[in-house]
Structure 1
């Protein structure tokens, strides 16, 4: 999984798979899911991310290791 934040558009993209996206569906306001050819999710796009996600407290869980981004 990979998380990218684009400050210029206030968009957060969470990549779940390296498979190419062939279809996108808006699952709620400002949240779009990208699907592969088998209708499996490959990523999520969250627009207006600062209003929906506290970017300063994203916690990354890597097995037994937890890293927390702090301001």
Structure 2
């Protein structure tokens, strides 16, 4: 899993799986969901992230070994 924040565009990108994305679904005008060929969630993109999330605070819990 990878979390990236792009300050220049205020975009938060959370990648759950590094798979080939074949479809992107808009959840709303500022949120997109990327899916693979089997409909599995690969990533989510949040635009205007600093207004819609607490992007400057990251907490990680339950890391698998």
**Which TM-score bucket, shorter chain as reference?**
0.7 to 0.9
Aligned equivalent of 1:31: 31
**TM-score, normalised with respect to structure 2:** 0.87
Query: Tell me, which stretches of 5 or more residues in structure 1 are unaligned?
Result: 64-71
- Give the match for residue 57 of structure 2: 57
Computing the radius of gyration from Cα coordinates, the structure with the larger value is 1
Larger RCO: Structure 1 or Structure 2 (Cα < 8 Å, ≥ 6 residues apart)?
A: 2
For structure 2, the residue ranges without an aligned partner over 5 or more in a row are none
Q: Would you identify which runs of 4 or more consecutive aligned residues in structure 1 move more than 2 Å?
A: none
- Aligned pairs, number: 64
Q: How does the TM-score come out when normalised to structure 1?
A: 0.81
